[in-house]
Amino acid sequence: MTERDGRVVITGLGIISPIGIGAEAVTASLLEGRSGVAPLKSYQGSALPNQLAAEVIDFNDESAKKVYLKDQRKWIKVMCREIQLGSAVATLALKDAGIDTDNFPHERLGVEFGANLMCFAPDAFSDPMRVCVDEKGDFVFSKWGGQGKDKLEPLWLLKYLPNMPACHIAINADARGPSNSLTLDEASGNVTMLEALSVIRRGAADAMVVGTTGNRLTPTKTIQARLWEELARGEDDPRHPCKPFDSKRSGQVIGEGAASVIVEGEAKARERGAKILARVLGGGASCVADKDGVGDVRKAVGNAIRNALHSTGLQPDQIGHISAHGTGTRAGDLAEAAGIKDALGATGGRIPVTGFKGAVGNSGAACGSIELVAGLLGTARGVVWPTIGTTAPDPECGLNVITGKPLPIDNKTFLKISYTNCGQASAIVVQGL
């Protein structure tokens, strides 16, 4: 089977985001133009400007145990928040796809899941560190092996490994097919899809649980973001501080969330009577950096788009719209816009463009999958969602950014782009049905 011969489809989806949990709630929020950005409530010790973040309020310890992870509640003690979110959206996606994991051929069901590098809570090491301090208050390294580490929670490491979402998903679904974990920060979502596409096209599985999870709201993560990234302060508009591609954009807002889709070979999906939401046509990825390791977002984005079009055999004018990465940072949006036009030529300035980070923030690894699901919810209604927070697109970016109201469309084929500041970029082409 050649790359273009194997038809691969999406048959189910699950989403936990700052604008809702599940397709119905997220669709309602997008129709209202609601943003999930607000003052942080559930995390202490944040270093974020004005404490503005995109937080999932409705997913907490109680709802996790009683609703979203009811069948896995005995494992919650070894799941940090990212793992909990990832496991929960996979369960939602499997249910939406109508896959009965008790009866589905276990060896033909696989998992391809991405996550950020996870940070443990500082207080996890408080007691172990305290017993290693001498009477002067200095830390004594020689005490760690004999006294300090014994105070650690025995399974603490299992709570923070980025491969654990895929492990928990595979165990819960009894998925014995190919399983893989990816950690490419924001580029992860599209790459998990590309890997799953390859698995199904080469006949190694009939269905794959695909997705990503991310949480950038822990104290350590917010400090990293404050030091390394351009963050919006929201002083002019606290409700919409992140403004992708806007002339007044001032930075991004970070967040949390997770999303998952079920990907199947089309013939097998139709054989079991599955509803088909979209076709995955292809994609591409690229990483570009100079000799000092500084990423070149423009070149990476351009390369990823060219590779995606080559894999599908499509021309630029066959793309109905673009779901951009759109961080809302000054340099990032300019670089992405330039990469789009480098790859698509003049067509790149005409194709409708949308971005979701004004509504859901940047959750790291999770953002690509969240934005994919949001795009699918739009094509299901025959629209491109507007870019929430953006009112005056920057002419220097030169993109046809959709603002205000949803844009009705006939062409449901869209390009999803993601990138990292390190110069990693990924793109997939999806055809909504």
| Alpha-carbon span 321 to 253, nearest angstrom | 24
Choice among 25-39, 150-164, 265-279, 332-346 with the minimum mean pLDDT: 150-164
pLDDT tens-place string over residues 76-108: 999 999 999 999 999 999 999 999 999 999 999
**pLDDT over 60 (residue 2):** no
The pLDDT confidence band at residue 153, using thresholds 50, 70 and 90, is confident
Of 150 and 336, the one with more pLDDT: 336
Mean pLDDT, range 263-291, rounded to an integer? 97
Nearest by Cα to 41 from 62, 8, 18: 18
| Alpha-carbon span 391 to 315, nearest angstrom | 30
Q: How many residues does the chain have?
A: 433
Query: Are 416 and 62 spatial neighbours (Cβ–Cβ below 8 Å)?
Result: no
Q: Residue type for 186, please?
A: E
Q: Whole-number mean pLDDT of the chain?
A: 95
Residue 155 is encoded by which pair of tokens? 């399974």
| Alpha-carbon span 239 to 401, nearest angstrom | 20
Mean pLDDT, range 138-159, rounded to an integer? 89
Mean pLDDT, range 263-282, rounded to an integer? 97
pLDDT tens-place string over residues 318-349: 999 999 999 999 999 999 999 999 999 999 99
Q: How confident is the model at residue 311, as a pLDDT?
A: 97
pLDDT tens-place string over residues 23-62: 999 999 999 999 999 999 999 889 999 999 999 999 999 9
**pLDDT over 70 (residue 130):** yes
Please give the domain boundaries of the chain with CATH numbers for all domains: 12-119+160-432 (3.40.47.10), 122-151 (no CATH)
| CB burial string 45-79: b at 16+ within 10 A, e below | ebebbeebbbbbeebeeeebeeebbeebeebeebb
Using CB atoms within 10 Å of the CB of residue 2, give its burial: 0 to 12 exposed, 13 to 18 middle, 19+ buried.
Answer: exposed
The pLDDT confidence band at residue 1, using thresholds 50, 70 and 90, is very low
Q: Residue type for 132, please?
A: C
pLDDT tens-place string over residues 214-248: 999 999 999 999 999 999 999 888 999 999 999 99
Q: In this prediction, what percent of the chain has a pLDDT beyond 70?
A: 99
**pLDDT over 50 (residue 4):** no
3-state SS track over the chain: CCCCCCCEEEEEEEEEECCEECHHHHHHHHHHCCCCEEECCCCCCCCCHHHEEECCCCCCHHHHHHHHCHHHHHHHHHCCHHHHHHHHHHHHHHHHHCCCCCCCCHHHEEEEEEECCCCCCHHHHHHHHHCCECCCCCECHHHHHHHHHHHCCCCHHHHCCCCHHHHHHHHHHCCCCCEEEECCHHHHHHHHHHHHHHHHHCCCCCEEEEEEEEECCCHHHHHHHHHHCCECCCCCCCCCCCCCCECCCCCECEEEEEEEEEEEEHHHHHHCCCCCCEEEEEEEEEECECCCCCECHHHHHHHHHHHHHHHHCCCHHHCCEEECCCCCCHHHHHHHHHHHHHHHHHHHHCCEEECCHHHHCECHHHHHHHHHHHHHHHHHCCEECCCCCCCCECCCCCCEECCCCCEECCCCEEEEEEECCCCEEEEEEEEEC
Q: How confident is the model at residue 35, as a pLDDT?
A: 97
Q: How confident is the model at residue 423, as a pLDDT?
A: 98
**pLDDT over 80 (residue 3):** no
Q: How confident is the model at residue 5, as a pLDDT?
A: 55
pTM attached to this predicted model: 0.96
Give the pairing type, strands 321-323 and 413-419.
Answer: parallel
Nearest by Cα to 213 from 56, 374, 369: 369
CB atoms within 10 A of CB 233: 14
Query: Are 417 and 431 spatial neighbours (Cβ–Cβ below 8 Å)?
Result: no
